[in-house]
Structure 1
């Protein structure tokens, strides 16, 4: 059953959309095709098919939590190429004029 102007107006109201007149014919055609595809899917016999959430079994593989000593600022300073007063020195990327 093709989409009518009233159907299109109702959908636009539900979606709170304003449909320009020049877009209505193309949108109606696209929605008709989409609804036709949905109708085709509804005809598929799924008796005996077990519903599933995803096509393959997925499981998170996580390592066990292990308590470790937190990294301190001294350790980070030792890794930095240059520091000053406990801060990492980096090249200037922005001039100070702004």
Structure 2
């Protein structure tokens, strides 16, 4: 299956379709930097998606270089099977 990666706008993703694709194996994993609603509530189903990494989206002024460096570091962690350094800790809140 494919890896689905969204670092754009959360509203562009059909979350129901993504969940279905993750559960039936058409999508092997998902990496989401943005969500349709932020912050996502603790009861939001997005937290229960299988094989999904949600990074801590930060809307602010950043340079393209900073974004590329952070994204590359997270991608290296994910592809090596490690938890990315910029991962949301749901136990601590959003």
The higher radius of gyration belongs to 1
Structure number with greater CO (CA < 8 Å, separation at least 6) is 2
User: TM-score range with shorter-chain normalisation?
Assistant: under 0.3
**By percentage of residues, which structure has more helix?**
1
